[in-house]
Structure 1
Amino acid sequence: MFKARVKEFEEALEGPDIDINALRNLCFYGIPDIGSFRTTCWKILLGYLGPKRSTWTETLSKKRALYRQFIEELVLPPGLNGNDNQDNVNTGLNDHPLSEGPESAWNTFFQDNEFLLQIDKDVRRLCPDISFFQQATEYPCDIVVHSKGERRLHQRVVPTMLSSANVERKGLGITKINLITKRSNENYVAMDEGLEAHWEVVQRILFLYAKLNPGQGYVQGMNEIVGPIYYIMASDPDLEYRKYAEADCFFCFTALMSEIRDFFIKTLDDSEGGIKFMMAKLANMLKEKDPEVYNKLKEQELHPQYYSFRWITLLLSQEFPLPDVVRIWDSVFSDEHRFEFLIRICCSMILIQRELILQNDFASNVKLLQNYPPIDINTVLSHAVSLNG
């Protein structure tokens, strides 16, 4: 059966034009953990690559070159980006590191520290149950690591007051992302000059995203969204894919964030696609599928935001081991009606625990739903599929 699945994917991806609907149907039931299937499929499902194979080479070449330009212009300190012409150098003579002028590149450089501090803190504890993010990447960014000074973002971090956004919502109860239970015992250590750990690469991706999306910036929890995508890209057996994992991950992450950004923007909480709307959708589904469980949670005043806020916002990336998260995302990314299936998965997670929920008190149910017990992920996914009827 596995060989048959592999053959189906080979046929789906080999033609000049990819049948997106057929690919969605295939990926929905899980992408084989072999070759570059998942890397390629996620790029297509997230819209990074189009359905015409003939466009892929040009798209990848342009996007990867653009990403390098982002690093040169937005990561490297002023005067060190390698692209400064004489005019820029002359102008730079008047741009002193202590300048507070609004157009000062140095002023911007130091202001970046406000959100860089939170990013640095978050990526150093990314996926602590595996060692991958603490290991060295085979392809460190040459213009960053082969230098001294503050080209490496973690060297720029100064422990000042955290003022970047997080996903805490006043009036929504216990919703802060800091309810995350996974924690590493020690902070990840930065690599020596010439080397980069994978978490340092993720840090740069998030920093650039925040710089290029100033209206949103960095919000705590985004590290949990980018982590699995980068893991897949940087673990691909194809050396060419691994070489450009950082750039490809950045554009896939950006594409995904364009669809779930409402989850992270407080002013859009009540909009269709906002987090309150999505939690209400889950509550309504639970009420329809199992009124008894719904009423039990309601009687205990165990509101959806106590547990489903994190489930939905982080696409379940904190509830299951990374391999299970990757499998869940195969189905979620394949969902033509984006995130409908995510809500069904969340509903299934509650219904599967119905017996415990009905007999538990408030405190036990909070613990149960905030620290979901180990389970075969296929059981959850099969149950979620059954809710479609």
Structure 2
Amino acid sequence: MATNKKWKRYPHLPGSIQPAQQRDALCDGTSLKYPPCQSSASTHTQDSTSTKQLKFDQFDASVSDAWSVDDLRINSEVAQSSARSVLDHHKATTQTVHFIGPPLNSYLNRVRALQRLATQKGEVFSENSSCQPIYPCLSGFETDALNRKRNQTPHDSSETDHRIRRILNLIDRDQFSELDREELQRECWTGIPAKLRPRVWRLLSGYAPFNKSRVDQVLKQKRDEYFNLVEQYFHTRFDESHQDTFRQIHIDIPRMCPLIPLFQQKIVQEVKDSLLLIFFLITVIFCHQMFERILYIWAYRHQGSGYVQGMNDLVTPFFIVFLSEWISPDSAMDSFELTSLEREKLNAIEADSYWCITALLRTIQTNYTSPQSGIHEKIDALKALMKKMNSELDQHLQKHQVEYFQFAFRWMNNLLMREIPLSATIRLWDTYLCVTNGFANFHLYVCAAFLRYWSKEIQKQPDFQSILLFLQNLPTQQWDDDKIKVLTADAYSLMEMFSGAKRHLTN
């Protein structure tokens, strides 16, 4: 009963008893007719509604579009000027020099520092020095090749032709003995002629057979096998268990893709032909996708180590060498449109790069298996070598608390690719492929010879920071075949002296 009285006392509540006239009004759909005593309330309601409408109109006017349809015609000069100012500002902010502090004792900080050193290159502490891309650009590669061709004497040309004939005489044999292989390695130790390099690299990597009659069949089989792997496993990159790996690959590739430096050149920033820029973008995207497939399939099939930063760099020399097989000698590789090649040729480049990087990584697997013990062992061996062969340099580094891992980790992780131009890297790999376990063992002695080469300049540096800055920005931009010949010859003499004689490193 109390409840009924409550509902009667508050007729405005939902479900309460309504007057007959209000019920009839609701039934026939007409508006309610309030008694005269409620007219003031009605007026107040209308004023409130009017005020709300006014506020909404003011708000609507304040957030309306700042332009109309007629304003869509944008001045191209103004747009380019704005874009250029943004790019200049970004360039200025990204060129800030980051000082390197003293070595830290924290193991975690050390590991993070090693990864940073392995994946990025610092900037030279100089106002007049131009900013170099993180990865050596193809324009330097092409310039070196053109200069060598332009400066060739008739004698040099004759010697090159003679070497080409000798190498062809070896690799065109149907029956290939172990003695023939050793002869080929001796012939290619000092460098492989560019026109023969793709064939010889496939042979020395163990990817193609030495029996010429079986080469085409085996290559077709291996290329088909690679794309079967892509079809079978590449879609798993979005699975929860693999997406972190693919994300890291996706992030790292733009840092090292050999076609990316094209966009770091001023001429590209000032391109006015939008169609040309589109072609550049398509080429880079194409290259990006090929590298993604190569690295992800390798990581998927080698989950013991998985993908590690630094592996991405190692694909590039193979990619460039196999790409050069389909480019005219008179064409500039740094302006070549990748999409102009037939699909079959692109597939061959991608598959060959995959199988050759697989063969390489097999020889240095411990470099990338946690906790990267292979790299740490090589750094310790490098330190022991320097104590015996250049004690003055070793003492200078110790005096200023410079540890070998702070600069040599990147040398081992990236096989010196961040220290020398791409053309020099490819020439160096000619020699590595001619040595048994060249990437695993001979590379140590190359690093020792490389460090000894800079000994005098390093000892001129007065403190920790100067030494590190110099070692991370070595002036090797002009290094060519002659420099690599000297480096490999010195490394070979060191290997002959110290390899297999561990007492020299421990006494």
TM-score, with structure 2 as normaliser: 0.55
Of 189, 210, 225 in structure 2, the residue corresponding to residue 51 of structure 1 is 210
Instruction: Indicate whether 1:220 and 2:309 are aligned.
Output: yes
How do 1:360-375 residues align onto structure 2 when only pairs under 5 Å count? 360-361=461-462, 362-374=464-476, 375=478
Checking the alignment, whether the CA contact within 8 Å between 1:347 and 1:384 is kept in structure 2 is no
Map of 1:153 onto structure 2: none
Checking the alignment, whether the CA contact within 8 Å between 1:46 and 1:252 is kept in structure 2 is yes
Find the residue that maps to 1:41 and give its secondary structure.
Answer: helix
Find the residue that maps to 2:304 and give its secondary structure.
Answer: coil
The offset of 1:287, in angstroms, is 2.1
Counterpart of 2:187, as a letter, is L
Checking the alignment, whether the CA contact within 8 Å between 1:132 and 1:198 is kept in structure 2 is no
Determine the C-alpha separation between the residues in 2 that align with 1:27 and 1:289: 28
Deviations 1:1-24 (A, max 9, x none): 222222222112111134221121
Map of 1:260 onto structure 2: 364
The offset of 1:53, in angstroms, is 2.2
Map of 2:185 onto structure 1: 24
Whose helix fraction is larger, Structure 1's or Structure 2's?
A: 2
Determine the C-alpha separation between the residues in 1 that align with 2:346 and 2:321: 9
Determine the C-alpha separation between the residues in 2 that align with 1:234 and 1:333: 19
Map of 2:423 onto structure 1: 323
Map of 1:98 onto structure 2: none
How do 1:1-389 residues align onto structure 2 when only pairs under 5 Å count? 1-18=159-176, 19-34=180-195, 37-76=196-235, 109-127=239-257, 191=282, 197-237=286-326, 243-267=347-371, 269=373, 274-339=374-439, 340-361=441-462, 362-374=464-476, 375-377=478-480, 378-389=482-493
Distance 1:249 1:317, change over 3 A: same
Determine the C-alpha separation between the residues in 2 that align with 1:207 and 1:126: 16
Map of 2:108 onto structure 1: none
Counterpart of 1:264, as a letter, is Y
Checking the alignment, whether the CA contact within 8 Å between 1:127 and 1:133 is kept in structure 2 is no
Deviations 1:46-65 (A, max 9, x none): 11123222332222122111
Counterpart of 1:258, as a letter, is R
Determine the C-alpha separation between the residues in 1 that align with 2:175 and 2:213: 8
Higher mean displacement: 121-130 or 349-358: 121-130
Checking the alignment, whether the CA contact within 8 Å between 2:223 and 2:347 is kept in structure 1 is no
Counterpart of 1:342, as a letter, is H
Determine the C-alpha separation between the residues in 2 that align with 1:333 and 1:369: 27
RMSD of aligned Cα (Å): 2.7
Runs of 4+ in structure 1 over 4 Å off: 127-134, 238-243
When the two structures are aligned, how many residues end up with a matched partner?
299
Find the residue that maps to 1:266 and give its secondary structure.
Answer: coil
Find the residue that maps to 1:203 and give its secondary structure.
Answer: helix
Q: Which runs of 5 or more residues in structure 1 are unaligned?
A: 78-105, 135-187
Determine the C-alpha separation between the residues in 2 that align with 1:110 and 1:55: 42
Determine the C-alpha separation between the residues in 2 that align with 1:202 and 1:45: 22
Find the residue that maps to 1:124 and give its secondary structure.
Answer: helix
Determine the C-alpha separation between the residues in 1 that align with 2:367 and 2:412: 8
Checking the alignment, whether the CA contact within 8 Å between 1:119 and 1:206 is kept in structure 2 is yes
The offset of 1:228, in angstroms, is 1.5
Determine the C-alpha separation between the residues in 1 that align with 2:350 and 2:372: 30
Q: Percent identity?
A: 26
Distance 1:251 1:133, change over 3 A: farther
Counterpart of 1:365, as a letter, is I
Distance 1:288 1:127, change over 3 A: farther
The offset of 1:133, in angstroms, is 10
Distance 1:337 1:206, change over 3 A: closer
Counterpart of 2:299, as a letter, is A
The offset of 1:110, in angstroms, is 4.2
Higher gyration radius (CA): 2
TM-score, with structure 1 as normaliser: 0.70
Checking the alignment, whether the CA contact within 8 Å between 2:229 and 2:297 is kept in structure 1 is yes
Distance 1:133 1:31, change over 3 A: farther
Checking the alignment, whether the CA contact within 8 Å between 1:16 and 1:52 is kept in structure 2 is yes
The offset of 1:331, in angstroms, is 0.9
Checking the alignment, whether the CA contact within 8 Å between 1:279 and 1:304 is kept in structure 2 is yes
Determine the C-alpha separation between the residues in 2 that align with 1:17 and 1:63: 21
